[in-house]
Structures are given as structure tokens and as C-alpha cells.
Structure 1
Amino acid sequence: MSTVPSRRLFEQILFTRDDLRPGRTLLFRIGLVLALFALVFLVLWLERDGLKDNYDQHMTAIDILYFTMITITTVGYGDIVPVSQQARLVDAVFITPIRLFIWFLFLGTAYQLVASQYREGYRMAKVQAALRDHIIVCGFGYTGWSTARELLAKGTNPDGLVIIEPREERVKAAIELGLVAFRGDATQETMLRHAVIQRAKAVIITAGRDDTNALVLLTARHLNSTVEILVSAVEEENVKLFRQGGATGIISPSTFGGYLLAAAVGHPHFMDYVQDLLTAGGRINLIERPVERNEIGQTATALKPDILLRLYRGGTVIQFWDLQEGQKLEAGDVLVILKSLSDATASNLPTA
């Protein structure tokens, strides 16, 4: 949980959609300079009869190339000069503005390179100011990528989903989804502070290694004692350790996948139903929510067409078959509901 910044203190940390192709501006400027250089060379070649070489009366292509270079760079040795009225007019009206434009282009590029770290600070502050009740995903391997895709499919705003990932190619995959990404190590306090964990709604830890997940968990819990933290456990034996470390929820993909495979034996439609139940594109959803004000004092039948599966009341868990006839919903109840979506609603949901 070190507070020491990364070695890449002055390298780019924050990545957004604008950084999807970070070299395109520089390549465009280089191409523009080469195009203008070629244009000036062509014009001077056409006007070569109006130029005078004080050392050689015959103007060759190499002489024009040389004169183009010293003209554009404003060196001006004086060995080749425009002597005709037309050549001087071309130099004053056409070439001089190009010369100034190229120099401004060079100065602007140099300024951007020098001021990049100050610009990074401004961008960082702007993004951080907008982050509130967001979700932080630490690790953007396949599990993190799938999690982010499903969250987006279920309606999460891309601006409310922040990725922390040290690998550049995975950062690129995140910004291709339109997400905000920080390139760095999520085990460091500095990186989690960059992602404004103090105001986060939830932290999802999918670093791919249980030891790394544990360090991220401890660091995140140290920085925010109340945030919801969900951890992906590679080994089942580490689940209890994550729980002791303050994880709100722990999922072991390999173990959970084993449960599903075992349950699907002899039940060919089981997996279709589970996928329909858990994914955004399904026609039924399993949701958890607090009881609404207008539902207080009502019975479970008032929730129709939704079906109440489980009721959490204080420290008590009440299954739907344990609900007494006429039992009322109370303030503070948390409901686990099987929610049915209409065909129209399901068809309008984005797919993962």
C-alpha cells in the first residue's frame, strides 16, 4: 500500500477516447510538412528561370531542392536568389506564408511536448471532478473486459466506469469501449486515488492473481472503508482470506463454472435459462433492490408480474416459501426479485 508514485511519474497515466490513436496528430503534422515542402519544390522548379545561382548558371533539381530547404528553414545563404519579378512575387506571396506556417507548426509541436505533463494534470483534474458514484475495475484481462461489457449492456454510463490496468494493449481495449482508463498498478494508493476511490460506488478486482487481488483489496479498503468491493478469486481456498480482508462479495469463476457444469448434466435447457437470467440481453433478470415507498404495507403479490424470491429483513433471510399469507413488506426490506421483461424491452437492450 505504498504511497510512492510510479517510476513513470511524467509519462501519460490517464487515457480516454481521445487517446485511441495517440500518434495520429504527430503523423498528420509530419505529412503536412512534407506535402508543403513538395509543393514549394514544385513551384520553385516551375519558376527556376527566375532564379539565379551566383556560382553556377545552370539550375538543377538538386539546386532547387537545396534552395527549397534553405528557404523553408530561413537560412538564406544568398547563393541562389530570385531575380525576376514573378519569382520574387511567388517568394513573397506564396512561399513566405508557407514558411511561417511551418515554423508555427514546429513551435506548436515543441510546446505540446514540453507542456504535456501540465496538460496531463489538467486532463486528470477534469476527469476526476466528474467522477462520482462510479465503478472501478482493477485489471482488464478477459474477466475484467467481460465485466465491463456486461455493465455497459445493463445501462452503466461509460463515463461512470473506470479501468486501472498496467498493460498498454489492455488500456487500448478499454478506451475502444469508450471507457476512462488509468495505466498503472492498482496495488498503489496513488493509482486508486487517481481513480477517485473516495467517491466510488464499487470496486471490482480482477487482476488475474490472488496475491495481487489481495493487495488491491487491502489498499482499496484502507482508502475507503465503506465502498462495495467485489473480488474474483482464482483459488477457492483464498475466498476466506478475501472475506477477512473486507471484500463485500467474492466470486471464484472456476468453482462457479464447475457448479454450473455439474448442474447442467442431464438438463439441456439449464444453461440457456441461466444465461437468460444473468445477462442484459435476457428476457428475465435477477435483481436486488430495497423496497420502494409505495410497496411498504403491501404483500408480495403486489409485485406482480415480478416474483419475490427472497426477502432480507435485518439479519433474517426469508425465502418465498416461508412468507406467511398476508405478510406485509416493511421499510428497510431488501428484495431479491425475478423480473420479467417484455419482448419489446428485451429486444431494445444492448447486447454484450
Structure 2
Amino acid sequence: MYSSLEQKYQRIQKELMAGVVALVGVLLIGTFWYRFVEGWSWEDAAYMTVITLATVGYGETHPLGDRGRLFTIALILMGVITIGYIVNRFTEAVIEGYFQERIRLQQVRRTMESLSGHYIICGFSRTGRQIAMEFQAEGVSFVIIDSDFESVRKAQEMGYTIYQGDATLDETLLRVGIEKAACIVAALPSDAENLYTVLSAKYLNPGIRAIARASTEEALQKLQRGGADAVISPYITGGKRMAAAALRPQVMDFVDGIISGTDRQLYMEEYLLEPGVCPVVGQTLGQAKLRVQTGALILAIRRTDGNLIGGPTADTVFMPGDVVIAMGTAEQLRALNQLLGPISSKKLRRPKKM
């Protein structure tokens, strides 16, 4: 659904409605003239008006004087102009695909209204496109916001759901269901725009997870103070990864293969342990026997206070609200998901196929 396209279609719709109203007005003027000025019956007046505007070439219903014929000439001209205007607007609508686009926009609007727990990508530049590709590969529902018409067109060609508008505005975020969204990714080219977007998103939905892109270290700190849950700087992160690739190439190849999915054997996933739902809450890692039953390896546990336990031991207790980070094959991770119970906050997605 695009705001600029909606405005354009609303304009065409108003012009078509104006033409129809003008045509009805001409019909009424002609009917009233023949009824009250010429003194004809309502049936004859309406009939004369219709055949005059239709230019079918029938004769006069009743003889007309000079005044009546002059009015009839004016009526014909008004009818030709009005009908010509309507035909012109209708032809423009057909040529520009107004009716087809209108149906598509209505479908997109219904899709947006039905979204819940979805992801919002702000910006469809190179970074935004890569994020969209990853989201699509993971099978998550998401919507894109971008103000550039060319970016909107490219996203549309790729089959993405996109809204053309300013992501820093509350109205735009509300249109894409910010109140029901699970996460927003601010990948706009300007650090200031990303900051405004995060502030607006957190105000409209305090519980949403906000990820932001930063160009400088100073912007990174400001975005963190602005409420962003995670801030990624492509330059800082890229530099660190390049250095790590130079110093520890095998480690980086292994990690990249898991994160990006280029490794066809191993994947990583996270699970939220909900109290009263997950059966392992309150048990130790040794008691739960997750490794024995599923084959998946528990890499880390994130506590609700933010504390990260890397390489948990057999004595580590699973607490309510813990986020468990695991690694394994697709089958092992699915088995782990079943063992942990029906986790509503995060279902295990099917690993993407290569």
C-alpha cells in the first residue's frame, strides 16, 4: 500500500465522481427546463433530455421555439463536454491500471491489517534489501517502509509488502501496524532518521524490539540512549569481522556458515522458556538431558536481567524467561523445540534451503 499511489487514485476517483455529478446536474437542468419552461410532462422532459445528451438523432418530442432550440444546443454542448470529460478520466484510469492497482492496494491493506507479531524494515537500500531477503528466507512476516518511489517499485517487483511513506512519522508507523509488531529495523541512510524512527516506535509500542543502523560511533551511542535494543554499525562491525577473518579464518568461516546458512549441516536458534509452559523450567541442564534426547548443543543462556551464561554446565538451572541459544542440525533443533514445549513467543522456523 503506497501513500502517494493512494493519493493519485483518490484524485482520479474524485475526478470521475465529479464528472458523474456534473452529468447528473446536466440531466436535471434539461429535465427542469423542458418541464417548467416548455411546460411538458415529466416523462417527456426526461425523455427529451436523455435523447439530446445521447445525440441519437431523434426528432423533437414537442415543437420547440427559438428559445427552446437555443437551450437544446447549449444542453448538447454541456452534455458533450461532460461526457467527454468522464470518458477521458475513465480512459486514463484504464491505461494507468487504476482498477487493477486499486484491487491490489485493497489486498495489501487487508494484509497489513491482519499482521501481528511481524517485523518492520525501514529503508529499502542495500542494507534493507539484504535484511528483507534474510527475513523472506526465514519465513517471517514483514513489511517495508520507504519514501523513494524507485525503491518502492523494486520492492514491489520482488514481491514484498511495502508502504511508501516517511518512517519517522507516527502516522506511517501506525499504518504498518507498529502497535502489533514484534520488531522494527531502522536501516535508513541517515542516523538522525534512524533515531527519530526508534523514538517514535518505542513511544507507540514500548515493548517492541528496535534494531538500528549507525554510521558513526557517536550515532551508535545516541541510538542506544534513544531506546534501541541493538545498534549495528556496518563500518565498525565490518572492520571487526575483517580483522577476525584475517586472524582466525577457520573460526570466522565456521561462524559465518552457521549465521548465514551457507553451512548446510548446522544452524543456530533461540528459545524463550515461558513459565508454566516449558517443562524444563526449574531443572538443571543435566536433569533436562537436552543433549542426550535431541543431540542439540546448548551454547548459552540469557537471563532476564541480561546476564549471559556462555557454555552452561550441567548444574546450570533453567529459569523462567531464559532465552536458550542452541546449535545443531535442522532435525536436532526441531526435536529440541518439541521437547521444550509449545513456545508461543518464538517458534522454530524451518532452516532455509540452499
What TM-score, normalized by structure 2, do the two folds share?
A: 0.61
1:335 paired residue number: 324
CA distance change for structure 1 residues 109 and 193 in 2, over 3 Å: closer, same or farther? farther
**Structure 1 Cα separation of the partners of residues 311 and 9 of structure 2:** 56
1:270 has 2:251 as partner: yes
**Structure 2 Cα separation of the partners of residues 250 and 12 of structure 1:** 38
Q: 1:1-352 maps to which residues of 2 (within 5 A)? A: 10-11=7-8, 109=91, 122-123=106-107, 125-156=109-140, 160-282=141-263, 283-291=265-273, 293-301=278-286, 302-304=289-291, 305-315=295-305, 317-321=307-311, 323=313, 325-341=314-330, 349-351=352-354
Q: Is the 8 A contact 1:281 1:349 kept in 2?
A: no
Q: Is the 8 A contact 2:143 2:176 kept in 1?
A: yes
Partner of 1:269: helix, strand, or coil? helix
**Structure 2 Cα separation of the partners of residues 134 and 297 of structure 1:** 31
2:76 paired residue number: none
Alpha-carbon deviation of 1:115? 8.0
Alpha-carbon deviation of 1:196? 1.4
Alpha-carbon deviation of 1:337? 2.0
Alpha-carbon deviation of 1:162? 0.5
CA distance change for structure 1 residues 214 and 105 in 2, over 3 Å: closer, same or farther? same
**Structure 1 Cα separation of the partners of residues 306 and 7 of structure 2:** 52
Partner of 1:10: helix, strand, or coil? helix
Amino acid corresponding to residue 191 of structure 2 in structure 1: D
After superposition, the C-alpha distances for 1:12-56 in whole angstroms (9 at most, x for unaligned) are 69xxxxxxxxxxxxxxxxxxxxxxxxxxxxxxxxxxxxxxxxxxx
After superposition, the C-alpha distances for 1:139-169 in whole angstroms (9 at most, x for unaligned) are 010111001101111222xxx2111111122
Question: What's the RMSD between the two structures over aligned residues?
Answer: 3.7
Partner of 2:269: helix, strand, or coil? strand
Alpha-carbon deviation of 1:181? 0.6
Farther-moved stretch of structure 1 (142-151 vs 326-335): 326-335
What TM-score, normalized by structure 1, do the two folds share?
A: 0.62
**Structure 2 Cα separation of the partners of residues 218 and 114 of structure 1:** 38
Q: Is the 8 A contact 1:308 1:320 kept in 2?
A: no
Q: Is the 8 A contact 1:153 1:280 kept in 2?
A: no
Amino acid corresponding to residue 306 of structure 1 in structure 2: A
Higher relative contact order (CA 8 A, sep 6+): 1
CA distance change for structure 1 residues 130 and 280 in 2, over 3 Å: closer, same or farther? farther
Alpha-carbon deviation of 1:11? 3.1
Partner of 1:216: helix, strand, or coil? helix
CA distance change for structure 1 residues 76 and 313 in 2, over 3 Å: closer, same or farther? closer
2:28 paired residue number: none
**Structure 2 Cα separation of the partners of residues 118 and 350 of structure 1:** 35
**Structure 2 Cα separation of the partners of residues 316 and 164 of structure 1:** 31
Alpha-carbon deviation of 1:257? 1.0
Tell me, which stretches of 5 or more residues in structure 1 are unaligned?
Answer: 1-5, 14-73, 78-103
**Structure 2 Cα separation of the partners of residues 236 and 111 of structure 1:** 50
After superposition, the C-alpha distances for 1:195-230 in whole angstroms (9 at most, x for unaligned) are 111111111110012111112112222222211111
Q: Is the 8 A contact 2:108 2:161 kept in 1?
A: no
Alpha-carbon deviation of 1:297? 4.2
Tell me, which stretches of 5 or more residues in structure 2 are unaligned?
Answer: 11-53, 58-85, 335-349
After superposition, the C-alpha distances for 1:228-269 in whole angstroms (9 at most, x for unaligned) are 111011112211211111111111111111111111224332
